[in-house]
């Protein structure tokens, strides 16, 4: 994502995932396909962080994929025994794109491995994509939302075409791209919070200015104009107070501020109490969604709102990704007469998915975001937003 590492804030993960027990992958079942020679099997990979600070999210993905493989496919596809192989893309207790690349090398060395659920994060996806693309290996991500993975922009370090040296797209994601965050946030603000007049500002840093520009573009597309715009240092009480006083005078009923939580973005929310009271919403992008934001907002935290791509549940997103991949594997096995299919056949079958549909770049047509509200206890899901 543009603002923060994919995956949910820790408090949200604990609320939505709960404790997930290890799942047995294989269950005895009658073969639904033609008899196979002894030893013939196929496998899929799950490439996520399984150690380090993101291990909770990664384990939720692995458990969800295993659950679908076991409960819905009974450990077999068209009579072929199915193995779910786990790959940890963390190293030295943190997520590591280079480890993701090493994982890809291991996957490609396994001729039975025909597709992957993952990666979960955009930086790992960018590192893995060229390797996977050259081998026509389908990657179905439950969480990597960076727009630069599918569409070119001036802020992208590497254009999408460079990530796909072999040509045909092999990266698909079941979450919307993060460049749609401003539109989702605006839709929630106007439709649910009933805000109509927005004061828009940023901390003047690169991320903050980009966030401000994105929200202003969403306003323009929606036929609205900000009542006030500014760049200011959120750590300066005088600067924040002056901006908020001007915003109140201009008739604003909501404030958008672009910046990161570590940079003090949500200190502006705390200063809103004077001119605005407690009811006017404070909007920010996902780059500010952290514990620091809520701490800085203090007692005003319940009026802070943001959005993040996805349903709000890593498990649900992983289940969707698993179903997409396993339906594609099933179709490819059938088309290949019950044999282990070529990776290209699986990639092609994923591209033809109808639930959800993907565009040519691999973006889902199901553009769902979750709106979050700040609370003293953490970020709480407030509603889903569909674009």
Q: What is the pLDDT of residue 20?
A: 39
Using CA atoms, how far apart are residues 11 and 373, in angstroms rounded to an integer? 12
Query: 243: exposed, middle or buried (C-beta count within 10 Å: 0-12, 13-18, 19+)?
Result: buried
In 3D space, the residue among 221, 182, 223 whose CA is nearest the CA of residue 202 turns out to be: 182
Q: What is the pLDDT of residue 32?
A: 39
Q: What is the pLDDT of residue 17?
A: 45
The answer to whether residues 198 and 223 touch, using CB atoms and an 8 Å cutoff, is no
> Based on the domain organization, do 37 and 126 belong to the same domain?
yes
Can you tell me the mean pLDDT for 252-273? 98
On whether residue 90 sits in a domain, the answer given is: yes
In 3D space, the residue among 106, 10, 20 whose CA is nearest the CA of residue 62 turns out to be: 20
Q: With 90 as the cut, is the pLDDT of residue 118 above it?
A: yes
Q: With 70 as the cut, is the pLDDT of residue 28 above it?
A: no
> Based on the domain organization, do 61 and 125 belong to the same domain?
yes
Q: What is the pLDDT of residue 155?
A: 78
On whether residue 358 sits in a domain, the answer given is: no
Q: With 90 as the cut, is the pLDDT of residue 12 above it?
A: no
Q: What is the pLDDT of residue 6?
A: 56
Please give the share of the chain, as a percent, with pLDDT higher than 70.
90
**Residue in the block written with tokens 């179905």:** 140
> Based on the domain organization, do 132 and 245 belong to the same domain?
no
pLDDT per residue over 297-355, tens digit each?
999 999 999 999 999 999 999 999 999 999 999 999 999 999 999 999 999 999 999 99
pLDDT per residue over 272-294, tens digit each?
999 999 999 999 999 999 999 99
In 3D space, the residue among 282, 242, 253 whose CA is nearest the CA of residue 266 turns out to be: 282
pLDDT band at 154 (very low <50, low <70, confident <90, very high): confident
On whether residue 2 sits in a domain, the answer given is: no
Q: What is the pTM of this model?
A: 0.88
Can you tell me the mean pLDDT for 81-108? 97
Q: With 60 as the cut, is the pLDDT of residue 176 above it?
A: yes
> Based on the domain organization, do 301 and 324 belong to the same domain?
no
Q: What is the pLDDT of residue 208?
A: 96
Can you tell me the mean pLDDT for 178-195? 98
* Lowest mean pLDDT across 51-65, 101-115, 156-170, 282-296: 156-170
Mean pLDDT of the chain: 92
> Based on the domain organization, do 97 and 125 belong to the same domain?
yes
> Based on the domain organization, do 299 and 317 belong to the same domain?
no
On whether residue 365 sits in a domain, the answer given is: no
Residues with Cβ < 8 Å from 108, sequence gap 6 or more?
Answer: 131, 135, 137
Q: With 50 as the cut, is the pLDDT of residue 14 above it?
A: no
> Based on the domain organization, do 138 and 39 belong to the same domain?
yes
Q: With 60 as the cut, is the pLDDT of residue 368 above it?
A: yes
Strand partners, 113: 43
In 3D space, the residue among 231, 227, 209, 207 whose CA is nearest the CA of residue 219 turns out to be: 227
The answer to whether residues 105 and 79 touch, using CB atoms and an 8 Å cutoff, is no
Question: Which domain, by its residues, includes 201?
Answer: 179-309+370-386
> Based on the domain organization, do 76 and 89 belong to the same domain?
yes
> Based on the domain organization, do 163 and 247 belong to the same domain?
no
Q: With 60 as the cut, is the pLDDT of residue 214 above it?
A: yes
pLDDT band at 7 (very low <50, low <70, confident <90, very high): low
Q: With 70 as the cut, is the pLDDT of residue 165 above it?
A: yes
Q: With 70 as the cut, is the pLDDT of residue 24 above it?
A: no
> Based on the domain organization, do 193 and 88 belong to the same domain?
no
In 3D space, the residue among 68, 111, 110, 104 whose CA is nearest the CA of residue 89 turns out to be: 104
In 3D space, the residue among 294, 230, 293, 301 whose CA is nearest the CA of residue 264 turns out to be: 293
pLDDT per residue over 225-237, tens digit each?
999 999 999 999 9
On whether residue 1 sits in a domain, the answer given is: no
Our CA angle for 312, 255, 204, nearest 5°, is 95
> Based on the domain organization, do 166 and 48 belong to the same domain?
yes
Domain count, the chain: 2
């Amino acid at each position: 994502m543009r603002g923060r590492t994919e995956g949910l804030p820790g408090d949200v993960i604990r609320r939505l995932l709960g404790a997930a027990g290890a799942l047995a992958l294989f269950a005895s079942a009658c073969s639904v396909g033609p008899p196979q020679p002894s030893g013939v099997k196929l496998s899929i990979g799950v490439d996520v962080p399984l150690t380090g600070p993101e291990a909770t999210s990664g384990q939720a993905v692995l458990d969800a994929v295993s659950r679908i493989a076991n409960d819905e496919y009974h450990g077999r596809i068209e009579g072929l025994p199915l193995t779910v192989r786990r790959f940890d893309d963390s190293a030295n207790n943190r997520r590591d794109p280079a480890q993701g690349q090493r994982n890809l090398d291991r996957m490609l060395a396994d001729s039975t491995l025909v597709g992957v659920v993952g990666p979960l994060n955009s930086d790992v996806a960018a590192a893995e994509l060229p390797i996977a693309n050259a081998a026509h290996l389908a990657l179905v991500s439950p969480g990597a939302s960076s727009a630069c993975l599918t569409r070119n922009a001036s802020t992208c370090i590497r254009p999408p075409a460079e990530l796909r040296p072999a040509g045909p797209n092999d990266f698909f994601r079941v979450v919307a791209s993060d460049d749609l965050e401003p539109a989702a946030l605006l839709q929630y603000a106007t439709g649910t919070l009933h805000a109509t007049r927005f004061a828009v500002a940023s901390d003047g840093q690169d991320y903050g200015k980009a966030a401000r520009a994105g929200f202003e573009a969403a306003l323009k597309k929606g036929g609205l104009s900000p009542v006030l715009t500014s760049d200011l240092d959120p750590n300066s009480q005088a600067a924040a107070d002056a901006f908020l006083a001007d915003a109140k005078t201009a008739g604003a009923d909501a404030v958008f501020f672009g910046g990161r939580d570590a940079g003090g973005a949500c200190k502006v929310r705390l200063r809103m109490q004077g001119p605005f009271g407690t009811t006017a919403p404070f909007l920010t992008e996902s780059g500010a969604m952290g514990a620091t934001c809520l701490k800085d907002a203090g007692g005003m935290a319940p009026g802070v709102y943001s959005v993040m791509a996805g349903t709000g549940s890593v498990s649900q997103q992983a289940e969707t990704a698993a179903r997409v991949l396993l339906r594609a594997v099933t179709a490819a096995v059938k088309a290949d007469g019950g044999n282990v299919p070529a990776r290209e056949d699986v990639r092609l079958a994923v591209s033809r998915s109808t639930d959800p549909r993907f565009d040519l770049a691999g973006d889902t047509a199901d553009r769902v975001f979750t709106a979050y509200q700040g609370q003293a206890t953490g970020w709480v899901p407030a509603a889903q937003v569909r674009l």
